[in-house]
Amino acid sequence: SSPDSDGCTPELEKAGLLNKTKIAEGGRKLRKNWSPSWVVLVGNSLVFFKDPKSQTPSSWKPGNSRPESSVDLRGAQLHWANNLSSKKNVFKLRTVTGNEFLLQSETDSLIKEWYNTIQNVIDRLDRE
């Protein structure tokens, strides 16, 4: 049988390193603070972890892989947002609760894959 034959384990869709900044919290604008983030798309959520490379060896202990934050993609909106940054390959993710994130990669193909995969999850949830 498949590893998820009971249907209870959310499916891992994608994981990788992106640059991230939160720009709004509950509709309130925040100051940008870009940093690398290990991003995992699993089930209906986008989950953010600290960039493993930015951690010191001493901070590399089991249990330190706790997510920094996570985003519910149900009802979320995704837009290319190169107007919101001097960086290239930027998109904005807005949650129903009014939290806004910019995500960015220097690699064109990689950011397109992330955009398409996240949009597919949002579309799937919209149809439910």
Among 28, 29, 31, 61, contact with ligand I3S (rule: CB under 6 A): 31
37-76: contacts with ligand I3S (CB under 6 A): none
Among 44, 45, 70, 85, contact with ligand I3S (rule: CB under 6 A): 85
According to the binding rule CB under 6 A, does residue 34 interact with ligand I3S?
Answer: yes
Rounded to whole angstroms, how far apart are CA atoms 73 and 50?
20
The token pair at 74 is 């149900």
- To ligand I3S, the closest distance from the beta carbon of 28 in angstroms equals 15
Torsion of CA 31, 33, 38, 42, to 10 degrees: 0
Pick the closer one to ligand I3S by CB: 32 or 124: 32
Torsion of CA 32, 56, 37, 71, to 10 degrees: -90
According to the binding rule CB under 6 A, does residue 119 interact with ligand I3S?
Answer: no
